[in-house]
Structure 1
Amino acid sequence: MEEAFVNTPLGIAKLEGDSLGLSSISVLNTKERITQIIPELLEDAVYQLNEYFEGKRTDFDLTLNPSGTDFQQKVWKGLLEIPFGKTVSYLQLSKSLGDVKAVRAVAAANGKNPLWIIVPCHRVIGSDGLLTGYAGGLLRKKWLLEHESPVKQQSLF
């Protein structure tokens, strides 16, 4: 398993993967040493992630290999269907996966997503339109949604 630590506007991100694909991207709340030489297997992921933060990329073209249960894998595939700049509720996501009663299980699987940003769990909000739990913290979720918003907030001052 190769790993790299890269700087992002939201903190240090840790990327992990091997020849089967990218298995994990997480944002850390600790200071880690930035990787000076990115492992070849992770170069494309780092490049695409940088493009995302620069506003040059709206979707990713990477081989993914996250570890999870069949149900979690199903939910994560569902997350990949949420378009850039759009949000859905946990209930809408549950319905799209074919089981409206699985909303809590869908939310739990969403929270276990190991591929920060690439599998856009930040695009899932509460049915009331409010931001709800996010493993990276609500401030990061808010930042990501604003970053992806087609309507940029203007400053009044």
Structure 2
Amino acid sequence: MSFKKLKYLAASLLILSLFIAPAAAHGVYMSWTQTGDQVQIHAYYQGNDPMANCDLTVETLDASGKATAYITGKTDANGDYTFDLKSGVSSYRVKVVEGEHAVSKKIDVNSGSSGSGTGGGSSGGIFGTEGPSLFTIGAGLGWIVGIAGIIMYLQARKELKNKNK
């Protein structure tokens, strides 16, 4: 294959790679249920596989949206975690993380000023995934460009040796 053809092939592959949709091998989802003074979180992957033993952070949110750390812990083997409502707080942000898989969502609960739950079974919906970071995407593209560059260099070097013979 000539250097010119190889160059066009590498450029075409690079351009085509920009139009590939990111793969979601493991979408991450979260649902929640409030029962009395407690909220139960259920975190799971696409296909209903539980996010077992994953790091979990609960923050309280004030009226202005300012977050304050409240609880840290780990989900159980079923991807579940239960926490008690804090008196006077009705908004929380819950984040579950395992490696690059993460889901973070604001939860508004029904609580009175005393902290006692009045919702008795209100439930949160299913929330979407957080995809790969721009850094990860950029690193992947860097590998592709770097490998294509090495291949083109070696091909050009080979052709130059053949010309000089």
**Structure 2-normalised TM-score?**
0.21
Q: Which structure has greater helix proportion? A: 1
Q: Which structure has greater strand proportion? A: 2
